[in-house]
Amino acid sequence: MIQRPSGVGAFQFVVLASLRAAQLVRGCRPKVDGLHKVTVIAQLEVSAGIVTQVFTPPGTTSGPVGDVAIEDAPAMVHTT
């Protein structure tokens, strides 16, 4: 079982992992090593803190509120 990071709720963990899995399916490169299914890779990335959620203030043009931040997706990017 993959442990979610402290400070990340269960629902937020699932949402972030599912959004990241969709990015991986579209061709983004994984940020963790190993031969896993995209859902597991996404969960590992969220668990490791590689994937975070970026909150965009309302009224800005950079995207909808709550984008998932990954290095490979310019409109939704932020990795640590």
Average pLDDT score over the chain: 79
Q: Tell me, what's the pLDDT at 24?
A: 93
| Structure confidence at residue 27 as a pLDDT band (50, 70, 90) | very high
Q: Tell me, what's the pLDDT at 70?
A: 53
Q: pTM to 2 decimals?
A: 0.71
The answer on pLDDT for 64 being more than 50 is no
Residue spans per domain, the chain: 10-76
The phi and psi torsions of 41 (rounded to 5 degrees) equal -60, -45
